[in-house]
Chain A
Amino acid sequence: MDNLYRDFILEHYRTPHNKGHLDPHDLEFADSNPTCGDEMSMTIQLDGSKDRIADVAFDGRGCAISQASASILTDDLRGKSLNEIKAMDPKQLLDELGVPIGPARLKCALLSYKVLQGAVRGAEVAWPKEAEAMAGA
């Protein structure tokens, strides 16, 4: 069990990076995990070109996996172009979490990815196939 809840996951859970709400912001999106009802929102400020991420914050409450995943994901976003974000592979986020995520928890781990994609595309996106090992609620 200490395998899934490694110190760095718990560290991100207790003191998440980039948590809060940016105002003003250029992009905003909120989504939820139907399995547990957890909600997450993301606010993004773009740079002068309006094509690259200047700052990002996420908000909402959730489990250690979803909060750590959002904290880790948002750490990597500054300076990235919108096209780079759209091309992101959800597997990369699972790799960065670096812990074994069982099928029942994949949506927890990928909720932040889904919210981010919704924000840069301006509309809800489908769950990535990596999250579909198990059907929703």
Chain B
Amino acid sequence: MAVQQAIPKAQTGVPGGFSGSALRADFPVFDNPTGTGKRLVYLDAAASSPKPRVVIDTMADTYAHHYANVHRGIYELSEDATGRFEGARRKLAGFINAPTERECVFVRNATEAINLVAYSWGRTNVREGDRVITTQLEHHANIVPWQQLCAEVGATLEYVAITDDGRLDLDDLTAKLEPRDGRRPRLLAVAHVSNALGTINPVAELVEQGHAAGALVLVDAAQSAPHMPVDVRAFGCDFLALSGHKMLGPSGIGALWARRELLEEMPPFMTGGSMIIRVTLEGAEWNEVPYKFEAGTPAIVEAIGLGAAIDYLSAIGMDRVRAHEKYLFEHAWTALSEIPGVRLLGPADPDLHAGVISLLLDGVHPHDVATIFDHEGVAVRAGHHCAMPVMLRYDIPATTRASFYVYNDLDDVEALSSAVGEVQRVFGVSS
């Protein structure tokens, strides 16, 4: 059975050139109303995105007709599965403009990608007295692996401060990158986009500064790869991590991209089948990259599903995805700013802000906001967004976060504003 390729509908006259509301037809989750009979207004892509039918169908079709283990069977079905699996790797390489798909390692998610670097590269290269630099803007996935590494080897982890409007403090970055006692920092680990505030970091500049200071640079692209062009050659970075489930793909699949010479030098993270060339009773010889880092049977169908998600996004074009979300962000930011009692976090400049809005409502806890939103059919995240150091920075327990994607449109922005009004009505606070 051939899987039908969904073609995003063109619409003229709007930035991005396509209609978000028309795209909803591609996502089965929007077929049914919510439990309270409302239209589903899904504003939680930053946590995980819905899946277009083409991804679901591709996975079902793979399981039904093209499934066998990969890189093992000397029979047609296995060769077919291997071809589709490796095809997905090539799509991924193209999507991030990697020089070769051999630099793309399939992992479970961005968290595992960062842990792979921390365990393999980190435990080989970071030594007692060394420094690792990250930022206070990071997701826990780009903090805790470095805390563990530094505690284990006796290195120091330092955090670049953030400004009142949620940008990295670039003066502080410069100071943190200075050599100390004649020693240069080993690594700068930084997000392209903050999942908690939506800040877009000037990633190419950060990489340049990190390299000038003698550090390698890891970019956490979990929150950016789904929403804007990500180009490892333009960034110039050394490592890049992403998750499939945030970019229309299935859960359980993500990727680490790293420069080939780094991957060649790094020891394996996990060991076992697939990642070896030869095993004797005395030891083992590692397979070539990227297989050296893919022990055991991989998430075959998930990788192929991610390939279908990449095809879907590429058919739209990542520049257009970004333009669409910027347009929604500008409308939402303006509408929410006009409501008394609403406080918005992160930079106001739409060029520095992805389609993620973290907000606070005077007198109402974010959990209560999200519960009332849910009743209105509006799905958002309330909490610390796995970025507790960001909450500490602004002395808040949590925020309510709305995040946009390709299937959102101005009707969703309106639903968001009116849900805020409903919260203020229920709580009897100013509106």
B140 to A: closest C-beta gap in Å: 10
Which of the candidate stretches B180-188, B334-342, B422-430 sits at the interface with the other chain? Answer: B422-430
Q: With a CB–CB cut-off of 8 A, which chain A residues contact B428?
A: 10
Q: With a CB–CB cut-off of 8 A, which chain A residues contact B368?
A: 5, 63-65
Given the contacts A1-B422, A10-B428, A36 and B372 also touching, CB distance less than 8 Å: no
A63 to B: closest C-beta gap in Å: 4
Q: With a CB–CB cut-off of 8 A, which chain A residues contact B364?
A: 64
Which chain A residue has the least Cβ–Cβ distance from B363? A14
B46 to A: closest C-beta gap in Å: 16
CB-contacts of A13-48 with B (<8 A): 35-39
Q: With a CB–CB cut-off of 8 A, which chain A residues contact B376?
A: 1
Cβ contact within 8 Å between B375 and A62: no
Cβ contact within 8 Å between B371 and A4: yes
A12 to B: closest C-beta gap in Å: 13
CA distance A64 to B375 in the complex (A): 16
CA distance A137 to B366 in the complex (A): 16
Which chain B residue has the least Cβ–Cβ distance from A10? B427
Any B CB within 8 A of the CB of A102: yes
CB-contacts of A47-79 with B (<8 A): 61-65
Residue total for B at the interface (Cβ-Cβ under 8 A): 20
**Interface bits B183-224 vs A (CB < 8 Å: 1, else 0):** 000000000000000000000000000000000000000000
Contact of B366 among A1, A2, A36 (CB under 8 A): A36
Which chain B residue has the least Cβ–Cβ distance from A38? B397
B83 to A: closest C-beta gap in Å: 38
Contact of B391 among A37, A62, A102 (CB under 8 A): A37
CB-contacts of B345-404 with A (<8 A): 364-368, 371-372, 375-376, 382-384, 388, 391, 397-398
Any B CB within 8 A of the CB of A121: no
Cβ contact within 8 Å between B383 and A5: no
Cβ contact within 8 Å between A1 and B372: yes
CA distance A35 to B391 in the complex (A): 14
- The secondary structure that dominates the B interface is helix
CA distance A10 to B364 in the complex (A): 10
Cβ contact within 8 Å between A37 and B422: no
B194 to A: closest C-beta gap in Å: 17
A44 to B: closest C-beta gap in Å: 24
CA distance A125 to B349 in the complex (A): 47
CA distance A63 to B397 in the complex (A): 10
Which chain A residue has the least Cβ–Cβ distance from B376? A1
CB-contacts of B278-304 with A (<8 A): none
Given the contacts A36-B384, A37-B397, A62-B397, A2 and B367 also touching, CB distance less than 8 Å: no
Cβ contact within 8 Å between B367 and A1: no
A23 to B: closest C-beta gap in Å: 24
Which chain A residue has the least Cβ–Cβ distance from B369? A63
New A-B contacts (4) at CB < 8 Å, excluding given A36-B382, A63-B365: A10-B426, A36-B398, A37-B383, A37-B398
| Nearest 9 interchain pairs by C-beta | A63-B365, A63-B367, A1-B375, A63-B368, A37-B384, A64-B368, A5-B426, A36-B383, A36-B398
Interface of B toward A, CB cutoff 8 Å = 364-368, 371-372, 375-376, 382-384, 388, 391, 397-398, 422, 426-428
24 contacts between A and B (CB under 8 A): A1-B371, A1-B372, A1-B422, A1-B426, A5-B372, A10-B427, A36-B366, A36-B383, A36-B384, A36-B397, A37-B384, A37-B388, A37-B397, A38-B367, A61-B365, A62-B365, A62-B397, A63-B367, A64-B364, A64-B368, A64-B427, A65-B367, A65-B368, A105-B367
